[in-house]
């Protein structure tokens, strides 16, 4: 049996050491890469959270504007209902025509800024947040966004299926279009000048003052008001509450980092 020389043994040991060193180098490289990737993902998650907080704060301002417009719409519809109840359906009454216009032309739709929250969820950034409360709240807010969208779709469905047909059937567009279309004036300007449109026929509306039609129209608008008002109770209040909760949790999650940066900058300035 051939004996292994000392030099061969030394070469084997050297190769083994090289393999061990190579193994640790590769392993260390993977660890460093994973660490860098984790730091990068955490940094990206923080940036997404900051952008998401900015979006939500903008949504609060926009939703307040939307809410005020919606309250004005409800008041306009109520004014129209009260007038029709008292005086019936009038063809040549400019005031009632304007009330109908305010009630029928002013439905609005609120669309939240969802780009950053969707990116936080789809990118997998949630696992780098390290805050179970925040992760849960983002899920709650996403569910609230879906609920808000579903509620507005219900409003839109009623508006398109039941109220717009009234407009198509009974609203005399000739008066409005005399300035709005033919003279390219704004909608508000054209509406304010309706009484200045000189035509022989002064029928602002195309309906007849029948009891059955009056009851039908009043009931449709009462239903409309009920749906709009219910949105506040069913969805809007909860939506605002969850936005505020999410902003509070995000900002508290980002606050330690901000304090650390501010402290470091103050130390460097000294």
Give pLDDT tens digits for 203-242.
899 999 999 999 999 999 999 999 999 998 888 888 889 9
- Residue 109 phi, psi (nearest 5): -130, 130
Considering the entire predicted model, what is its pTM? 0.73
Query: What is the rounded distance in angstroms from the CA atom of residue 205 to the CA atom of residue 94?
Result: 9
The two tokens of residue 260 are 């650390």
| Chain segment 136-158, per-residue pLDDT in tens | 888 888 888 889 999 999 999 99
Instruction: Count Cα atoms within 13 angstroms, Cβ side, for 8.
Output: 4
Domain segments of the chain as ranges: 51-171+206-269
DSSP per-residue letters across 52-113: HHHHHHHHHHHHHHHHHHHHHHHHHHHHHHHHHHHH---SS-HHHHHHHHHHHH--------
| Chain mean pLDDT for the chain | 81
- Given a cut of 70, whether residue 61 has pLDDT beyond it is yes
- Given a cut of 70, whether residue 91 has pLDDT beyond it is yes
Query: What is the rounded distance in angstroms from the CA atom of residue 152 to the CA atom of residue 212?
Result: 30
What contacts 167, CB < 8 A, 6 or more positions away? 104, 105
């Amino acid at each position: 049996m051939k004996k292994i020389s000392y030099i061969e043994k030394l070469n084997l040991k050297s190769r083994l050491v090289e393999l061990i060193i190579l193994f640790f180098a590769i392993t260390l490289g993977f660890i460093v890469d994973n660490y860098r990737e984790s730091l990068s993902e955490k940094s990206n998650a923080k940036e997404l959270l900051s952008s998401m907080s900015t979006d939500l704060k903008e949504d609060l301002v926009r939703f307040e504007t939307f809410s005020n417009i919606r309250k004005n719409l409800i008041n306009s519809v109520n004014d129209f209902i009260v007038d029709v109840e008292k005086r019936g359906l009038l063809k040549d009454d400019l005031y009632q025509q304007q009330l109908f216009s305010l009630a029928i032309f002013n439905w609005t739709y609120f669309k939240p800024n969802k780009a950053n929250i969707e990116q936080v969820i789809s990118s997998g950034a949630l696992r780098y947040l390290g805050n179970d409360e925040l992760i849960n709240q983002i899920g709650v807010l996403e569910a609230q966004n879906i609920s808000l969208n579903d509620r507005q779709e219900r409003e839109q469905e009623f508006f398109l299926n039941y109220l717009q047909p009234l407009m198509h059937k009974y609203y005399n567009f000739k008066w409005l279009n005399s300035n709005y279309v033919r003279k390219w004036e704004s909608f508000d300007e054209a509406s304010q000048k309706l009484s200045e449109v000189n035509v022989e026929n002064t029928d602002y509306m195309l309906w007849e003052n029948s009891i059955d039609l009056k009851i039908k129209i009043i009931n449709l608008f009462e239903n409309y008001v009920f749906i709009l008002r219910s949105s506040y109770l069913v969805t809007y209040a909860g939506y605002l509450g969850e936005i505020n909760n999410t902003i509070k949790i995000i900002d508290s999650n980002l606050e330690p980092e901000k304090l650390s940066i501010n402290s470091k900058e103050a130390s460097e300035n000294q």
